[in-house]
Amino acid sequence: MIALDNLASVHQTATQAAAKATEDFLAKHGDRDMCGFAWVTVNEKGSTKLGRALKAVGFKPAYRGGLQLWNPSGSWTQCITAKEQGAEAYVRVLRAAGIENAYAGSRLD
């Protein structure tokens, strides 16, 4: 499990990875896809130590439980595939840091 005092650094690394993945996709394929949204969900209660640490870096309660961070890449594109690439990159960083219950999600607009 991740050291909670290191979560801000993990979040920063994950956000950078998400932004790079989104930018790389757009550079290669352009803004060519359908409009949509992407996010990261961590299946964790907001009242736990990890949940409180996630909320401190920007996660919000998810409608169906857990905590979510929408548009982790911070990209203004509407291209759903580019945003999905960013969310998946963010999840890879979280999982590498020991947060195994993280998942990428998306939906069309």
Going residue by residue through the chain, which has 109 residues, state the pLDDT in tens, using 9 for 90 and above. Answer: 566 778 999 999 999 999 999 999 999 999 988 999 999 999 999 999 999 999 999 999 999 999 999 999 999 999 999 999 999 999 999 999 999 999 999 999 9
Those residues whose C-beta lies under 8 Å from the C-beta of residue 77, and which sit 6 or more positions away, are 22, 26, 31, 83
Q: Which two tokens stand for residue 30?
A: 């352009």
Tell me how crowded residue 53 is: count the other CB atoms within 10 A of its CB.
20
**The model's pTM:** 0.95
